[in-house]
Amino acid sequence: MPELPEVETVCQDLRDAGLCGSIITQARVHWPRTIATSSPAVFCKTIAKHQIMAIRRRAKYIILELAPSENLAGPALFLLIHLRMTGQLNIVMGTPKRDTHEHIILSLNNNTQLRYKDTRKFGRWYLVSDPEEKLAPIGPEPFAKSFTPKLLATMLATRSRVLKPLLLDQNFLAGLGNIYVDEALWESELHPETPASSVTPEQAKRLHRAIRLVLKRGLKNMGTTLGTGKANFYSVGKRSGRNQDQLKVFRRTDAPCPRCTTPIIRLIVGQRSTHLCPSCQVVN
DNA sequence: GTCTATGTTTGCGG
DNA sequence: TCCGCAAACATAGA
């Protein structure tokens, strides 16, 4: 569900909704496990009376930068939100009745609430004084200047794993999930089971371009919303993405490859459902 | 009604 | 280091 383009879309929508500048007056937790860093009671007490200063993204984390609104000498705080499979954020006016799957409600000073809804309850909130606690091991951002085709080639050269599980590993590269990995591998005409160490510099260059291409397209279309159920991706205000229309292979088993018309196949790689064109994408 | 699959991440055992 | 598996959960679809 929420991969880099979806998480970035949520961050942008939160900013557009005017969340920056709001002060958290009260927090309520209805599913304790969502709070990963302390008890719900400590979380609620700690986060209250903090102002939201900025909203940004790193990998698949939404990061809210907080500053104390009363004791100005107090330390800065960071709220890291990971949506995992089905987490959603919404901003509501007033205090409407709580939905079954709304697990956290932050009341804000302008008669609105930031609500966290998560049907499968896999999402996690981390309230920390230093975001590096969570972010340190994570790999480079795909759009970082320093993430060059050459760097990717070097990163791949020393790895013994195959491409698909490696690209899904957030400590290797940040932000990709099942959908965009399948799409990037199709774009670059690489097989998901290609050993990373066998990828040539030319292929690494193609993969680098493909990763940026599919992510950029996802961003432009404000994310991918598959199907109609509540387990799908919706940004703030239940808005769907429209990148699903741009997918070339993901969940398109038996459909013709857009490049060569060979039917797309599905297989399991690294325990993950994987889609590819058996004609365009062959193992090195 | 029942059974299976599921877009993410983490932790364990081999 | 790497891999497979299970778990954290609820729901859609067969």
pLDDT > 70 fraction of chain A, expressed in percent and rounded: 100
What integer pLDDT is reported at residue A9 of this predicted model?
96
The spacing between the Cα labelled CA in A118 and the C1' in C2, in angstroms, equals: 32
Residue A75 makes CB contacts below 8 A (sequence gap 6+) with: A68, A129
Give the model's confidence band at A237: pLDDT under 50 very low, under 70 low, under 90 confident, else very high: confident
For residue A138, the number of C-alpha atoms closer than 13 Å in the C-beta half-sphere is 18
Is the model's pLDDT at A43 over the cut of 90? yes
What integer pLDDT is reported at residue A229 of this predicted model?
74
CA–CA gap between residue A62 and residue A64 (Å, rounded): 7
Mind listing the pLDDT tens digit for each residue in A58-83? 999 999 999 999 887 888 999 999 99
Mean per-residue pLDDT, A228-239: 84
The spacing between the Cα labelled CA in A124 and the C1' in C10, in angstroms, equals: 16
pTM score above 0.95? yes
Q: Which residues touch strand C (CB under 7 A)?
A: A 33, 84, 100-101, 119-122, 159-162, 165, 227-231, 270-271
A2 is catalytic: yes
A242 is catalytic: no
Which residue(s) pair with A127 in the sheet? A79
Q: Which residue has the tokens 């459902």?
A: A273
What integer pLDDT is reported at residue A102 of this predicted model?
95
Question: How far from A225 is each of A7, A157, A222, CA to CA, in Å?
Answer: 13, 34, 9
Residue nearest to nucleotide B7 (CA to C1'): A1
A3 is catalytic: yes
Task: Report, in ranges, which bases of strand C sit under 7 Å from a protein C-beta.
Answer: 1-5, 8-13
Give the model's confidence band at A114: pLDDT under 50 very low, under 70 low, under 90 confident, else very high: very high
What integer pLDDT is reported at residue A148 of this predicted model?
97
Question: How far from A237 is each of A14, A107, A233, A259, CA to CA, in Å?
Answer: 10, 17, 11, 36
CA–chain centroid gap for A9, Å, is: 9
What integer pLDDT is reported at residue A226 of this predicted model?
84
Is the model's pLDDT at A109 over the cut of 90? yes
Mean per-residue pLDDT, A160-189: 96
Is the model's pLDDT at A20 over the cut of 90? yes
pLDDT > 90 fraction of chain A, expressed in percent and rounded: 93
Give the model's confidence band at A227: pLDDT under 50 very low, under 70 low, under 90 confident, else very high: confident
Q: What is the mean pLDDT of chain A?
A: 95
Is the model's pLDDT at A32 over the cut of 80? yes
Closest nucleotide (C1' vs CA) to A171 is B9
Mind listing the pLDDT tens digit for each residue in A241-281? 999 999 999 999 999 999 999 999 999 999 999 999 999 99
What integer pLDDT is reported at residue A1 of this predicted model?
75
The spacing between the Cα labelled CA in A179 and the C1' in C13, in angstroms, equals: 20
A140 is catalytic: no
CA–CA gap between residue A231 and residue A132 (Å, rounded): 30
* Selected catalytic residue, list A159, A259, A272, A278: A272
What integer pLDDT is reported at residue A46 of this predicted model?
96
What integer pLDDT is reported at residue A62 of this predicted model?
97
The spacing between the Cα labelled CA in A271 and the C1' in C5, in angstroms, equals: 9
